[in-house]
Amino acid sequence: MYKLVSAVAHFFALLGGLVLSGLVVLTCFSISGRLINTVLHSEPVQSVMPMLAGTMINTGLGPINGDFELVEAGMAFAIFAFLPLCQLSGSHASVDVFTNQLPPAVYHFIRCLIELVFTAVLFLVAIQLYAGMESKRASGQTSFLLEYPVWWGYAISVPGAWVAALVSLYISVCRFIELLSGRTLLAQDSEVAH
């Protein structure tokens, strides 16, 4: 079962990475276009080569229209796409100054409890994200510049939220079995200690 959960989490992380890379390229092109457009409109360029500058400006050289809207929706997707792998690997930041001093049984109980709370919160997030998507879809709200339906940004994030919740449920069940049996089902995770 772990291999399946890991494969799905890694697949979503890969999709998130591809979207994030695309957003970086989009942002670079938009910033470059904005810079070139500003230079073409500058007084020195307009006085030295006005026809060339005008021709380049007329080709549409400039910032990408609606880049902020695309980055906003894409970042939401990327965040929710990375969340399943983050949950599976235990890569959340933790403050364990107190819990490191506890006996192993108490530590494992607290860890199991934290995983259950994470699971509940992630299911709540997934449910509310879906409800928000339905609300935006029903209202017909569109983005300002590109005028695409706002609910699309929610819709691309919902699968990642549900996968994160299901991965968290899997981790919670494993931690609960570990607590009861004393066996180790999941390898030691890579928590970031502070």
pLDDT of residue 21: 97
What is the domain extent for residue 138? Answer: 2-193
Long-range contacts formed by 135-139: CB under 8 A, 24+ apart: none
Q: Which pTM does this prediction carry? A: 0.83
Secondary structure class of 94 (helix, strand, coil): strand
CA distances from 172 to 55, 64, 167 (A): 62, 44, 9
Q: Rounded to the nearest 5 degrees, what angle is found at the Cα of 76, between the Cα atoms of 35 and 145?
A: 50
CB 88 within 8 Å of CB 6: yes
Calpha distance 169→130 (Å, rounded): 18
- Torsion sign over Cα 15, 16, 21, 27: positive
pLDDT of residue 61: 85
Regarding predicted confidence, which is higher, 117 or 94? Answer: 117
Question: With bands split at pLDDT 50, 70 and 90, how would you rate the model's confidence at 188?
Answer: low
Q: Distance between terminal CA atoms of the chain?
A: 31
User: Of the given ranges (10-14, 148-152, 165-169, 184-188), which has the lowest mean pLDDT?
Assistant: 184-188
pLDDT per residue over 51-75, tens digit each? Answer: 988 888 888 888 999 999 999 999 9
CB 125 within 8 Å of CB 179: no
Our count of domains for the chain comes to 1
Question: With bands split at pLDDT 50, 70 and 90, how would you rate the model's confidence at 189?
Answer: low
Calpha distance 133→154 (Å, rounded): 5
pLDDT of residue 100: 75
pLDDT per residue over 17-40, tens digit each? Answer: 999 999 999 999 999 999 999 999
pLDDT per residue over 4-17, tens digit each? Answer: 999 999 999 999 99
Task: Give the burial string for 59-93 (b: 16+ CB within 10 Å, else e).
Answer: eeebbbebbbbbbebbbbbbbbbbbbbebbbbeee
pLDDT mean across residues, the chain? 90
CA distances from 100 to 94, 111, 185, 194 (A): 11, 11, 20, 12
